[in-house]
Amino acid sequence: MYHSRVNLSDFSYELPPEQIAQSPLPVRSASRMLALDRDSGAWADGSVRDLPERLQPGDLLVLNDTRVVAARLHGVKPTGGQVEVLLERACAECEALVQVRASKPVRPGLVISTAGGAIEVLERLADLWRVRVPGPVLDFFDRWGEVPLPPYIGRAADASDRLRYQSVFAREPGAVAAPTASLHFDRSLLEAIAARQVETAFVTLHVGAGTFQPVRTEQIEAHVMHSERVSVGAQTCEAVVRTRARGGRIVAVGTTVVRALESAAQQSAGRSGALIEPWSGETRLFIRPGFQFRVVEALLTNFHLPESTLLMLVCAFAHRDAVLGAYRHAVEAGYRFFSYGDAMFLARGLAGAQRALPL
């Protein structure tokens, strides 16, 4: 699948800190959108509101319906030391895997006092801790926790983030970070897409805290991808097959949708050779240059951190030099970056290109 060696430094770029979006725009669909042709490297500046015009009647738009949990919780040790608990996932009704940050080492048996009751640390599992909480895990964190804004947002979460760091179609609780391409969609944009005779379907990928972990190996093939829970249902698989049969494109909204669809496709190829079949499970799929995409043909995504696995995925979807050239243009043109920032649309045969970037 992967034919050439690429290094971590191949995915670096310079970004002024002031272009990291700290808050969302007042209107979700008001963000800018840079369109990039996957083949030629030609690009065009525009708006997310242009997305319906970039889609074609008969296309299938696939969205991630995961719902962000208020996953960050503050507590206190018996000694008075401050502790931060970040939910990774529920593993039983009242047990969870979490990250625990404290000034001194954490050990099994530690009891952390929180506003919602005591959390007991049970055991260490690799980089995570298994803990017991005083009630059903997701209900407990949603009541007592706060929205876990990404580390590059330099402010505390406020009440508005509970609404805006969540897509309008979120319904399956379990994520600790938002699938950020979804944040651009409001009801008017979804209605305009439907009027374009574009079908929609959903997958669920619960984004884990590992999405913010840096790649620590210069040779990226040595990187071990974090695991995330995925569910791709029968209705979505049927929609993918139906769309392909009528000549439409499969358009993924976000890198999480790409990983979900391509993970299910890999499982299907191993079982039956079908294009895609229903699948639920854990994925560690690491999409990097050289990956052969089976399902996804167009992608709406946000701008991603330098040297991140998400940027590597985008560079696998289009030519790396074209993607990084488009990123340089986005920096020069003042685009807003990362979770609350602007968007990028990648497809073949884009009309209205302003410039072809050298490949």
Q: How far is CA 7 from CA 41, 214, 250, 314, in A?
A: 22, 14, 30, 15
User: Is pLDDT at 347 greater than 50 in this prediction?
Assistant: yes
Give yes or no for a contact between 42 and 356, defined as CB atoms under 8 angstroms apart: yes
* Domain boundary assignment for the chain: 8-68+161-351, 72-144
Tokens of 136: 């059903």
Per-residue pLDDT of 211-237, as tens digits, reads 777 888 888 888 888 889 999 999 999
* Distance from C-alpha of 314 to C-alpha of 118, rounded to nearest angstrom: 42
Fold for the domain defined by 8-68+161-351: QueA-like (3.40.1780)
User: Cβ–Cβ contacts within 10 Å for residue 267, how many?
Assistant: 20
Neighbour count for residue 17 (Cβ, 10 Å): 8
State pTM to two decimals.
Answer: 0.93
Residue 284, pLDDT above cutoff 80: yes
Helix-helix angle 309-317:320-332, to 10 degrees? 120
C-alpha atoms less than 13 angstroms from C-alpha of 9 in its C-beta half-sphere: 1
Q: Are 230 and 262 contacting, i.e. CB atoms less than 8 angstroms apart?
A: no
Read off the pLDDT of residues 16-36 as tens digits, 9 standing for 90 and up: 999 999 999 999 999 999 999
53-102: per-residue pLDDT in tens? 999 999 999 999 999 999 999 999 999 999 999 999 999 999 999 999 99
Residue 4 has pLDDT above 50, yes or no: yes
Q: What is the DSSP string of 249-310?
A: -EEEESHHHHHHHHHHHHHHHHHT--S---EEEEE-----TT---SS--EEEEE---TT-HH
CA separation for the pair 215, 71 (Å, rounded): 23
**N- to C-terminal Cα separation, the chain:** 22
Residue 253's pLDDT is: 98
pLDDT in tens, 184-216: 999 999 999 999 999 999 999 999 877 777 888
- Work out the mean pLDDT of the chain and round it to a whole number: 94
Q: Name the nearest CA neighbour of 178 among 288, 268, 97, 65.
A: 65
The stretch 40-48 carries a mean pLDDT of: 95
Distance (Å, rounded) from C-alpha 276 to C-alpha 12? Answer: 34
Is the pLDDT score of 319 beyond 90? Answer: yes
Please tell me the predicted confidence (pLDDT) of residue 350. 85
